[in-house]
């Protein structure tokens, strides 16, 4: 029985219909990969900046809520038919929200950012240090505690949505960072398809 021979798929790149089927040499392959990496870095920087802005804005709103005497949901004006009232242990829930936001801020830093590199190597002994930013399942469970508690108390939609803000942000940041990582992996996979051109 004759063994099957795998045909290697060549590294091809085309921006023009006239160049279809053009096989790139080593230098052209490197130029294409460099261009894709730079495009990824540029777009990722924009996305990280946007995520940092959204998380910081949410953090600011939570800070204003912290010093509010009424502790009424900031979303109350948007839902006039749904009354809002303070929930018990508001300060404890706010502390939890701040922890979630702090974790999200770390997630919104590029993986090679110096702040993200130095935090896990803090002065605490290695056995006591936490893996920061927190990953699953902690990153999933923590944002769910406050909205679940508000729902358990029978609060209206305006309060449940307010206490869900950190969870919604966590979902947005998680999807965005996953999308950026997938784009980086695509370039890495393309790098593995590089070949040595004949006659080079």
Please give the pLDDT value at position 124: 46
Listed range (112-126, 144-158, 163-177, 183-197) with the worst mean pLDDT: 112-126
Count of other CB atoms within 10 angstroms of residue 20: 8
Q: How far apart are CA 62 and CA 60, in angstroms?
A: 5
In the chain, where the domains are located: 24-120+132-191
Work out the burial of residue 174: count CB atoms within 10 Å of its CB; fewer than 13 is exposed, 13-18 middle, 19 or more buried. Answer: middle
Please give the pLDDT value at position 193: 76
Peptide bond just before 133 cis, omega within 30 deg: yes
Residue 170 has pLDDT above 60, yes or no: yes
Instruction: List, for residues 121-166, the tens digit of each pLDDT value.
Output: 544 455 444 455 666 577 788 999 999 999 999 999 999 999 999 9
pTM above 0.95, yes or no: no
Please give the pLDDT value at position 195: 64
């Amino acid at each position: 029985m004759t063994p099957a021979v795998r045909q290697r798929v060549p590294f091809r790149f085309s921006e023009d219909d006239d160049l279809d089927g053009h096989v790139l040499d080593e230098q052209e392959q490197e130029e294409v990969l460099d261009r894709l990496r730079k495009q990824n870095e540029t777009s990722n920087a924009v996305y990280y900046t946007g995520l940092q802005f959204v998380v910081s804005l949410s953090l600011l709103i939570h800070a204003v809520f912290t010093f509010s005497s009424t502790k009424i949901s900031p979303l109350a004006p948007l839902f006039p038919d749904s009354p809002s009232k303070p929930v018990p242990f508001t300060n404890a829930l706010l502390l939890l929200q701040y922890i979630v936001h702090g974790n999200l801020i770390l997630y919104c830093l590029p993986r090679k950012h110096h702040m993200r590199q130095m935090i896990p190597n803090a002065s605490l002994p290695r056995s006591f240090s936490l893996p920061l930013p927190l990953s699953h399942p902690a990153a999933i469970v923590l944002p769910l505690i406050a909205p679940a508690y508000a729902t358990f108390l029978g609060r209206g939609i305006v309060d449940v949505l307010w206490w869900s803000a950190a969870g919604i942000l966590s979902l947005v940041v998680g999807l965005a960072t996953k999308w950026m990582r997938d784009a980086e992996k695509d370039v890495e996979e393309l790098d593995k398809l590089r070949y040595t051109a004949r006659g080079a």
